[in-house]
Structure 1
């Protein structure tokens, strides 16, 4: 009994390849969205808890929250960049396969990839805010 040949991007009909790449693209876009939500929610909760601390009773937490906040921002930031890199790889495969003639994968506009700026910048913004919070506390001590 012969097993079917494995399907590669080159052997798929154009519309099937388009749908497969589009599905992967959508998945990576959803990953970026979920990870941004994790970042925003976690940072909001951490900043709220940090703001309620009193230095006298919880000194170790006043030091620990900024470190933990920076670590969370860094880890989620790495995962956001991984999803964005996967999206870029899908776009490269899409263009390499010549599927632009069927339909654009990404909207053609003057803004280019500026829609990713928030996803790329927010982890660094939160990490910087935690760094400022930590240095402000150290200077106040």
Structure 2
């Protein structure tokens, strides 16, 4: 692809491939970050479960705080990648490339594929709030 041409003057298929490559990259980032979230939270919950029986009170309160921080930081990075896909979709539509090929799923599918990455950071955060409430209660 010629680097000197602005995106508006690229041939349609070259622009399509460039935007599709960016879309794929951001989608892979969402996937990797979601996996980081699930794996890290799973390890943290496992460690937290062993700590609650060990009577290490400061760690019983520290782990939920750390778990919420991990969910928050990874959640922000997931939202950033999803925002980037929205921007790519906007550029795609603005360039009129829908006449070549759809970049996104059909209207019947909608955005249901985004529900997990959008919700899971909040789900894990809420679970840590419940864990902390349980620690205060005991």
TM-score, normalization: structure 2? Answer: 0.95
| Unaligned 5+ runs, structure 2 | none
Q: Distance in 1 between matches of 2:111 and 2:136?
A: 39
Cα distance change on mapping 1:16 and 1:5 into 2, 3 Å: closer
Which protein has the larger Cα radius of gyration, Structure 1 or Structure 2?
1
Q: Distance in 2 between matches of 1:41 and 1:56?
A: 23
The two structures, once aligned, show a CA RMSD in angstroms of: 1.4
Moved over 6 A (4+): none
Q: 1:130 aligns with which of 119, 128, 131?
A: 128
Q: Deviations over 1:85-105 (max 9, x none)?
A: 000000000000000000000
For 1:111-122, list aligned pairs within 5 A: 111-122=109-120
TM-score, normalization: structure 1? Answer: 0.93
Matched, 1:14 2:35: no
**1:58 corresponding residue in structure 2:** 56
- Give the number of the structure whose residues are more often helix, by fraction: 2
- Deviation, 1:41, is 0.1
